[in-house]
Amino acid sequence: AQSVTQPDIHITVSEGASLELRCNYSYGATPYLFWYVQSPGQGLQLLLKYFSGDTLVQGIKGFEAEFKRSQSSFNLRKPSVHWSDAAEYFCAVGPRSNDYKLSFGAGTTVTVRA
C-alpha cells in the first residue's frame, strides 16, 4: 500500500535561516511527487512537483525539492526563510497514470521566529 511519511510534525526556524522538510514515501513504483502549502485559513497551494527528468525541482516562493530514488525521499528546502513562510506543508504522491488521486502526508507545521 502506498504511504507518505513526514517525520517532523512541527519545525521552528528563525527568519533568514534555512529550512528543510522531510518526506519519505512507500509506493509500488516511482510516483508523481508534490509539495503543497497551506497558509492559515486557506486551501492548499501547489509549491512544486516532480514528474521526471532533473531530480532537483524548483518551485514557487523560492522553494526547491530533491527527489532521491534510492532513499524514496522528496525533501523540500528553502535557503532563507521569510516570516510569510509560516504555514503547514504537505508532501503528496500520486500514480503515474491518468488515475489521478493523491495521497498526502500528515503535514509539517513551520513556525518562523523573528
Q: Select the span of 13-21, 61-69, 72-80, 104-112 touching another protein (CB under 8 A).
A: 104-112
Pick between residue 19 and residue 107 the one whose CB is nearest to another protein: 107
Q: Select the span of 23-31, 38-46, 62-70, 75-83 touching another protein (CB under 8 A).
A: 38-46
Under the criterion CB under 8 A, does residue 90 sit at the interface with another protein?
yes
Under the criterion CB under 8 A, does residue 70 sit at the interface with another protein?
no
Under the criterion CB under 8 A, does residue 104 sit at the interface with another protein?
yes
Q: Select the span of 17-25, 62-70, 71-79, 95-103 touching another protein (CB under 8 A).
A: 95-103
Burial grade of 63 (CB within 10 A; 0-12, 13-18, 19 or more): buried
Least Cβ distance, residue 32 to another protein (angstroms):
8
